[in-house]
Amino acid sequence: MSVVDYSQELSVVEGKPPLRSLDDLIAKPLEVKPDRKFYIALSVTLSMLGLFVIGLALTFWYGIGMWGNNNPVGWAFDIVNFVFWVGIGHAGTLISAILFLFRQKWRTGIARFAEGMTIFAVMTALLFPLIHVGRPWLDGWLLPYPNQHGVWTNFTSPLLWDVFAVSTYFAVSLIFWYVGLIPDFGSLRERATGKFKKIIYSTFSLGWRFSNRHWHHYEMVYLILAGFATPLVLSVHTIVSFDFAVSIIPGWHTTIFPPYFVAGAVFSGFAMVQNVLIAVRKIFNYEHIITVDTLEKMNKIMLVTGSMVGYAYAMEFFIAWYSGVQAETFTFFNRALGPYAWAYWIMVTCNVISPQLFWVKKIRRSVPVMFVIAIFVNVGMWFERFVIVVTSLSRDFLPSSWAYYTPTYVDFMILIGSFGFFFTWILLFTKALPVVSMAEVKAVVDGSQPSHEDH
């Protein structure tokens, strides 16, 4: 591959394209009729979504006895999937908020898409706690509202913190996303030819006028939102980890959980963004907007967070030995050598070993290889949650209550279906909204900012 000089700041968008051509390119998927490939992809995801619906219908009709959950493994696929999907969401906010605060301009090409993925991933994740309560039509009881029972929620429970954290995360991500979309709706409104489209875009653009008196406040709000979203994204997975860490189950009751979960979330999120973006840039010809340089930078983040996760695995073992707590020591031996050793070693292979290949520059810049590695990371991160949730529960303090957990076909239907739910939204998103931020990309093209020669 080409030689890259890292000492120079790279152009974010390759080849200095005219601004209008960027608009044309980004708005194109919205202005042409979807092709056959789109319908094929949509039919696949809708079939998966169908499985989801059937799985949920079985669950609601017969109860969660349809799942493989048993006593003591009361949390299984439902919570594994929840943590997995919340984690996927973290990449989007990291890209849109944290990288914004660090002035990483390369984020502009991928920010909109990653934020969209955050929203869809959190929507998918939110389904799981809601269905795992067994009677989801009473989910309103999770919120503290004045009621005829005279009862309030328990504010000392991590599960309640979770309700607040995930719903806040969803709301703030949605606001952040919409604020970013307003100028693009304005551009689309000006481009729209049909009357119906014009009305829709006018409504959503709120009559945005590209006025600098507005941009002035707009940039301030963007900064404030980024400032809020940064601690928020760190808090969400921290609180998700509290669901485990605040309990006393060996293998859960550890202080390393919050940073370890956040690193893992960013790791898996970037892998998912990588997978989907590689497909998007190919299909829509965005190779010069979402450049190989951008993908390489994402690989570097995956390398860093992957190493952090690997370090956390090692540290858990060290503490299990160093603490001298018998139950803790046993749990970790059990993870690596017990009945779920297969899951543990899948996790280690995918999460610790595979991202280490990114030390090699050639691999880091090769699109097909990084695509495969990203898939490995996604698989590995799903298994990480499986290992944490299931192995710890299946063998805790009392050997008399040990049991092996086996998922049922309904569990798999819901797992596959959750991917269907997520990718259906992704597909509709690519046809309904600009998947790259028009205003932001235009602002980082070479020569699009004043050169300040006279200052």
Q: Is 33 in the site for another protein (CB under 8 A)?
A: no
Q: Which of the residues 239 through 258 are near another protein (CB under 8 A)?
A: 239, 242
Q: Is 225 in the site for another protein (CB under 8 A)?
A: yes
Q: Which of the residues 362 through 401 are near another protein (CB under 8 A)?
A: none
Q: Is 141 in the site for another protein (CB under 8 A)?
A: no
Q: Report how far apart the first and last C-alpha atoms of the chain are (Å, whole number).
A: 40
Q: Is 28 in the site for another protein (CB under 8 A)?
A: no
Q: Is 433 in the site for another protein (CB under 8 A)?
A: no
The minimum distance between CB 210 and another protein, in angstroms, equals 5
DSSP 327-348: HHHHHHHHHHHSTTHHHHHHHH
Q: Which of the residues 290 through 349 are near another protein (CB under 8 A)?
A: none
Task: Show the tokens assigned to 81.
Answer: 């999937």
Rounded (10°) CA dihedral 26, 228, 178, 125: 90
Q: Compute CA distances 98 → 35, 63, 412, whole Å.
A: 36, 42, 35
* CA–CA distance, 130 with 78 (Å, rounded to integer): 10
Q: How many residues sit close enough to another protein to count as binding (CB under 8 A)?
A: 74
Per the CB < 8 A criterion, the answer to whether 369 and 363 are in contact is: yes
- One-letter amino acid at 303 equals L
Sign of CA dihedral 250, 251, 255, 257: negative
* CA–CA distance, 212 with 226 (Å, rounded to integer): 20
Q: Is 111 in the site for another protein (CB under 8 A)?
A: no
Q: Is 46 in the site for another protein (CB under 8 A)?
A: no
Q: How far is CA 39 from the centre of its chain?
A: 25
3-state secondary structure of 248: coil
Q: Residue for token digits 């810049």?
A: 365
The minimum distance between CB 21 and another protein, in angstroms, equals 9
**Residue 17 or 407 having the CB closest to another protein:** 17
**Residue 271 or 438 having the CB closest to another protein:** 438
Q: Is 151 in the site for another protein (CB under 8 A)?
A: yes
Q: Is 100 in the site for another protein (CB under 8 A)?
A: no
The minimum distance between CB 305 and another protein, in angstroms, equals 23
Q: What is the largest CA-CA distance in the chain?
A: 81
Task: Show the tokens assigned to 357.
Answer: 């290949």
**Residue 260 or 382 having the CB closest to another protein:** 260
* From candidates 46, 133, 200, 443, binder to another protein by CB under 8 A: 443
Q: Which of the residues 49 through 88 are near another protein (CB under 8 A)?
A: 60-61, 63
**Residue 72 or 144 having the CB closest to another protein:** 144
Q: Is 212 in the site for another protein (CB under 8 A)?
A: yes
The minimum distance between CB 72 and another protein, in angstroms, equals 20
* From candidates 1, 4, 179, 372, binder to another protein by CB under 8 A: 179
Q: Which of the residues 185 through 204 are near another protein (CB under 8 A)?
A: 186-187, 189-191, 202-203
Identify whether 34 is preceded by a cis peptide bond (ω within 30 of 0): no
* From candidates 12, 111, 125, 172, binder to another protein by CB under 8 A: 172
**Residue 265 or 387 having the CB closest to another protein:** 265
* CA–CA distance, 386 with 389 (Å, rounded to integer): 5
The minimum distance between CB 32 and another protein, in angstroms, equals 19
The minimum distance between CB 411 and another protein, in angstroms, equals 20
Q: Which of 369, 269, 277, 264 has the alpha carbon at shortest distance from 309?
A: 264
* CA–CA distance, 268 with 354 (Å, rounded to integer): 13
The minimum distance between CB 347 and another protein, in angstroms, equals 28
**Residue 213 or 362 having the CB closest to another protein:** 213
* CA–CA distance, 453 with 237 (Å, rounded to integer): 46
* CA–CA distance, 452 with 134 (Å, rounded to integer): 62
Q: Which of 98, 3, 26, 96 has the alpha carbon at shortest distance from 445?
A: 26
Per the CB < 8 A criterion, the answer to whether 340 and 394 are in contact is: yes
* From candidates 148, 154, 193, 400, binder to another protein by CB under 8 A: 154
Q: Is 220 in the site for another protein (CB under 8 A)?
A: yes
Q: Binding segment for another protein among 16-24, 43-51, 275-283, 390-398 (CB under 8 A)?
A: 16-24
Q: Is 145 in the site for another protein (CB under 8 A)?
A: no
Q: Which of 278, 273, 288, 368 has the alpha carbon at shortest distance from 26?
A: 288
Q: Is 139 in the site for another protein (CB under 8 A)?
A: no
* CA–CA distance, 82 with 122 (Å, rounded to integer): 9
* From candidates 106, 208, 257, 313, binder to another protein by CB under 8 A: 208
**Residue 36 or 216 having the CB closest to another protein:** 216
